Structure 1
Amino acid sequence: MNLTLRLRAATGLDLGVATVERAVRERMRAAGAGIDYDPRPGTLEFDALVDLVVVPESWILRDPDVFETALRFVQARLLTRPGRQVRVLSLPCAGGEEPYSLAMLLAHAGIEPEHCRIDAFDLSRAAIARARAGRYTRNAFRGDDQGLRARFFTEHGDEQMIGAAPRAYVAFAQANLFDVDPAITGTYDLVFCRNLLIYFDLPTQQRAAARLAALLADDGLLLAGYAEAPALCRAGFAPRTPHDTFALRKHGRRAADVLRAPPRP
C-alpha cells in the first residue's frame, strides 16, 4: 500500500496526491529523510505526517448560533432529567476552541462541570497538545466573544491562556471518529461534529453518519456544519425543525419538546 492510500485509510480523508506530496516533502525536510521515507501507522513520524494533512482550524465561538443552541439544549436536558449528567461529544475538536467555547458558556450560565461533561477528540496529536495547553493567539478571537475572553482568559505574552474554570468541563484525547466505540464510551446527549464530512468521499460519509448515529442518544442533538447537513440527512438524520440548517436529530425522533429551555441568565 502506498503512502497516500495508507493516509487515507488512517484518516478517512479523501486526500489528493498533491496534498500528500506536499506533506511528505515538508516532513522529509524536517526529519532529514531520504528517498526511503516510508513512515508506518502507529509511529511518531506517521502522526506528524497526519498533522500536516488534516485541517484543524477553528476559533472561539465560531458560529455563535450553534453554541446558543447547544446551551439551550443542555439547559433543557437538565430541567427534564434532573440529577443526570449531560454528556457532550466534540469531534473533531481541533485545538480546543469548540469545546472550550461551550464550556465557557456553561460556566457563564451557572451550570457546574458535574452536570455537563465534554469529551473532545481529534485525529491530530498536535491539535490535542494545543488544546491541552489552552494557549491561543489573536487569530482565535475573530468576532464578538460575549466578554468570554476577558472573563476566562489571561495574557501570557502575545498569547491568551484559558483559565481553570472552562478546563474543568473538558477531557481531551487523540482519536479518529471511526475509533470511537459507543460500546465503550456510551452514547452522548449532544454531539458537535462540524466540517468533517466535507473532507470525506461518499462511502466514508455514510460510514461517518452511521458512527455518529451510534454515538448519539436516540433523543439527542447533532450539531453539524452547514455544508454537510444535507449528506447527513441522506444518511438517517433530519433537521430538528423545518427551519434548522445545522441542528439535526435521528430521523423519526421528535426532539422539539426537550429543546425548549428557559431564557439564558
Structure 2
Amino acid sequence: MKMQINAISRATATMSKPTLPPFLIDPLDLDEPDDEVVVTTRRGLIRLALVAADTASRFEREAVGHDPVAWMIAPRALFDGRSAIDACLSREECLRAVLLHGLSIGLDADPMTLDALMADDDDADDPVPSGRSAAAYDGDGDDVDRRGRPQGERPRLWTSFLVDQRAGGMIQAFDAVVAADRAEAETRLRARHGSAIADAIEISEGFDPNTPMAEALVSPAVADMLAQVAADPGSPLAAGLSVYIEQRFAS
C-alpha cells in the first residue's frame, strides 16, 4: 500500500495545472514554470503586433466603448471560435482582422465574407474569354477591358479628404469608394457628409499613399489594399468597397 501511495504522489507532482484561458492570465504577473509555451516565428509576432495596433487605433478613432485587449483575447467567429492572440499569428487570420478594422465592419464578422473580399484576383490565371483576342483581354483593345466589359462601364476607385471645423472641434476624414464616375462618387460622399460641406471635400481618382493626410489617417495595411483596388477596381476585393476613416480634435 505504501508503494502505491508513493507512486500516486509522484504522478501528481509531475502533472501541470490546466491551461488558463487568456482572460484569466495577468500579463503583469511574473512568469511561472508551468506557463503555456507558444512556439511561433518573428513574422507571426509582427502579425500579432499589427493586429493589436490596428485594433487599438480603430477603437480610439471611433470611440468604441470596448477594451482592445479584451477584443484580442475573446473568442471570435471571425477566427472560427479562436481568439485573435491565437489566430492572428497566421497570415490568413491576420488579414481578416486587418480588413475588419480597416473597413470598420463591426467587432466580429463571418470569416467567409472577409475571405471573399480578400480573394486573390489573379488576372494571369484568368482564361481568355471565348471569341475575344488575347490583346483585347489584356487591355490593349479600345472597346473592352480585360474582363470583356465596355470601358465606359468599368468602375474606378475614388478617394477624398475632408478637413472641416465644426462646433465640437476639427474633423479630418478620408473616404474611398468604388464608383463608375466622379458624379456617382460625389453623390455618395455628399450623402455621407452632407451637402453643406460638399465644397470642402477634395475628390480624386485613385489613391496616393504618399500625401500627408493619407500617411496620417490610413494604416499601411489599408493603404496596401487600396493600392490593389486602384490597380484593379473591377476585382472581387473592390466589390462594394466603401472606406471611411475619421479623426477628431476637440476644441
Do they fold alike, i.e. is TM over 0.5? no
Query: Normalization by structure 2: what TM-score?
Result: 0.25
Higher relative contact order (CA 8 A, sep 6+): 1
Q: Which has the larger strand fraction?
A: 1
